[in-house]
Amino acid sequence: MPQPPFSSSPKIDVLISEVGPRDGLQSIATTMPTMNKMRWLDALAAAGLREIEVASFVPAKLMPQMADAAEVTKHACTLPGVTVMALVPNLRGANAALQAGAQKLTLPVSASTAHSLANVRRTREQMIDDVRSISQLRQDIAPSARIEAGISTAFGCTLQGVVNEDDVIRTAVLCANAGADEVGLSDTVGYANPAQVRRLFRRLRMELGPRAGAAHMHNTRGLGLANCLAAYEEGVTTFDSSQGGLGGCPFAPGASGNVVTEDLVFMFEAMGVSTGIDIALLREARAALQAGLPGEPLYGMVHEAGLPKGFIQSMDFLSKEA
């Protein structure tokens, strides 16, 4: 069970990892101003998010939305109790992220060769070599930082089609052997279904034990929450999501729509599964997001419908901090 990174917080049952500031913002044409990004991060932290993927360290000419990655990362590191995560596609990006203070690096290692070449212009085998090199770099300059390998297109690929499940698990094991502290599975293109999610995460946990990592689900075909629940029932306790459902994959045609953070938090809290996140403050953070992206469509059933009459979130975690 994940523990919050600071001792004054209570135990939680699941860790919600907010990926909107990276996955969401790099997937839209509009570039959010740096100050608005910082205000949004402040609001997310105030709501109780304990892990936030804040940026992607890639060349600005390729992804101008992430040109301020170092500045945003440095600001995020001032937020108490937040694990600051950054996506890095290669050794150069990893070095820049660690120099900026990132506490956790996530590497996209695709189980689909076609997607890997489109996404990072490297083969799966080359990316596994990069995991090894980045693990060594981490040991040299920031040994306390953690490395996560996210197995992209684990449930299918719009470019390749079916992705062999044995290839997915083999890739995950190779990443762990290369130095990844945790390895998660990503439904990059929104193909997954609950039976498939249970099957693959069961196999992943059998192979990697506690190093089996997050479930990164998309809601492209309306199964995002169902797939998260299926993963939870297999023992997964870390879930990626994006406020307002921002995000997708620019190198996977038709892959839109991350799981909405507000809806995911509500589902777990309604079940009595503690996230440590204040839903009311989370909804306020949405206003900070919208202020930085005026006119950009946001999604979410809880935002549209509101909370059920009589719904009272347990606020034990707030009373313990008071």
Query: Which tokens hold the place of 151?
Result: 């197995």
Q: Which amino acid is at 98?
A: L
Q: How many CA atoms lie within 13 A of 174 on its CB side?
A: 18
Distance CA 180, CA 177 (A): 7
CB of 119 closer than 8 Å to CB of 152:
yes
- Which residues does residue 87 pair with via DSSP β-bridges, in sequence order? 56, 106
Distance CA 275, CA 167 (A): 32
- Is 249 designated active site? yes
Q: How many CA atoms lie within 13 A of 293 on its CB side?
A: 25
User: What angle is formed at CA 219 by the lines to CA 218 and CA 224, rounded to 5 degrees?
Assistant: 85
Distance CA 169, CA 192 (A): 16
Tell me how far the alpha carbon of residue 309 is from its chain's centroid.
31
Distance CA 239, CA 35 (A): 27
Single out the catalytic residue among 157, 175, 228, 249: 249
* 289: phi then psi, degrees, rounded to nearest 5: -65, -50
CB of 47 closer than 8 Å to CB of 112:
no
Query: Which tokens hold the place of 300?
Result: 């979410």
- Which residues does residue 60 pair with via DSSP β-bridges, in sequence order? none
Show which residues are catalytic: 249
